[in-house]
């Protein structure tokens, strides 16, 4: 049996970081070697930990910089923190390839959202009229959600039009966690594809899949599909 993959979690004290730590210690092929927070000097702490893969779950907008720090420490980045732009993702990809490493940027770890996006692409081929409704808890600051923007991009790609032309409606209301519905309208029929979440646990399997994927990744791709569909060899 090979040695467990050594993992460092950055943002370890947060909601997502706590979930990740719990899931990592619950499996035999991963080993939690560092739980890092705001007070730690990231690069030095990563180097000292011996981590092979770093998982960033901190504050929106910090993911790309933390990914660069990880690469500088020769640690493979998995960035779950919101707000990594496509340009930042490309810069991470270039930096990783330059040092022969890989990782993954994951805007959404949920299995259901990945499957929803696959179903949306199929439906978008048949229904030109489509709107996205994303509904989140009142504390979510960004709107539209990154996941909704990604859905619109996928629809635009399939339909050969700019993503901005796909209407997105954002609902922010107490009581909800995170739901997304994609509504397609045809002649005398409506197709609704809907994903609902009831707790952070929905991100657990994706977190583990992303960490395992990163161990063998070349470059830094974007999206949980790379992990669920298996590493590219
Ligand atoms: N990809 C996905 O599927 C997914 C799903 C859910 C959430 N998210 C994203 O994941 C991130 C974390 O979410 P959360 O709900 O866990 O937030 P949270 O509960 O606020 O936790 C964030 C943690 O990161 C720490 N932190 C902040 N800045 C840091 C820094 N510069 N260095 C080290 N640690 C730092 C915080 O420490 P302090 O308490 O000291 O500030 C806190 O412990 C957010 O960006 C969120 O949008 C992604």
Q: What is the pLDDT of residues 10-42, one digit of tens each?
A: 999 999 999 999 999 999 999 999 999 999 999
Number of domains in the chain: 2
CA of 9 to the centre of ligand 1 (A): 11
CA of 161 to the centre of ligand 1 (A): 34
pLDDT at 1: 66
Tokens standing for residue 154: 């996928």
Q: Which residues are catalytic?
A: 136, 140
Which residues, judged by CB distance below 6 Å to any ligand atom, belong to the binding site of ligand 1? 10-11, 13-17, 37-38, 57-60, 62, 80-82, 106-109, 203
- What are 104-139's pLDDT values in tens digits? 999 999 999 999 999 999 999 999 999 999 999 998
Q: Which residues contact 24 (CB under 8 A, 6 or more apart)?
A: 7, 9, 30, 31, 32, 208, 211
Same domain, 39 and 59: yes
CA of 154 to the centre of ligand 1 (A): 27
Same domain, 117 and 74: no
Distances (CA, A) of 166 to 86, 146, 194: 19, 14, 17
Spatial separation of the C-alpha atoms in residues 47 and 92, rounded to whole Å: 19
Same domain, 78 and 138: no
Same domain, 101 and 208: yes
* Mutate-to-test residue for ligand 1 from 34, 37, 59, 140, highest number of ligand atoms within 8 A of CB: 59
Give the CATH number for residue 90: 3.40.50.720
Spatial separation of the C-alpha atoms in residues 232 and 213, rounded to whole Å: 9
Quote the domain boundaries for residue 98.
5-105+201-228
Q: What is the sign, positive or negative, of the torsion defined by CA atoms of 152, 154, 155, 156?
A: positive
């Amino acid at each position: 049996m090979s040695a467990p993959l050594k993992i460092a979690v950055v943002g370890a004290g947060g909601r997502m970081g706590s979930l990740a730590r719990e899931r990592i210690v619950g499996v035999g092929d991963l080993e939690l070697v560092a739980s890092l927070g705001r007070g730690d000097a990231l690069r030095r702490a990563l180097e000292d930990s011996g981590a092979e893969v770093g998982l960033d779950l901190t504050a929106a907008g910090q993911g790309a910089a933390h990914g660069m720090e990880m690469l500088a420490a020769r640690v493979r980045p998995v960035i779950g923190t919101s707000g990594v732009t496509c340009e930042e993702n490309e810069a991470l990809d270039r930096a990783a390839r330059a040092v022969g490493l890989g990782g993954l940027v994951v805007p959404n770890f949920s299995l259901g959202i990945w499957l929803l996006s696959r179903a949306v692409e199929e439906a978008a081929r048949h229904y030109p009229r489509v709107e996205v409704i994303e509904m989140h808890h009142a504390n979510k600051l960004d709107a539209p959600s990154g996941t909704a923007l990604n859905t619109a991009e996928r629809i635009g790609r399939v339909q050969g039009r700019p993503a901005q032309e796909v209407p997105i409606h954002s609902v922010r209301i107490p009581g909800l966690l995170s739901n997304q519905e994609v509504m397609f309208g045809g002649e005398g029929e409506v197709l609704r594809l809907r994903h609902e979440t009831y707790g952070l646990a929905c991100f657990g399997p994706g977190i583990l899949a992303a960490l395992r994927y990163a161990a063998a990744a070349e470059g830094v791709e974007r999206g949980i599909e790379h992990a669920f569909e298996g590493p590219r060899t």
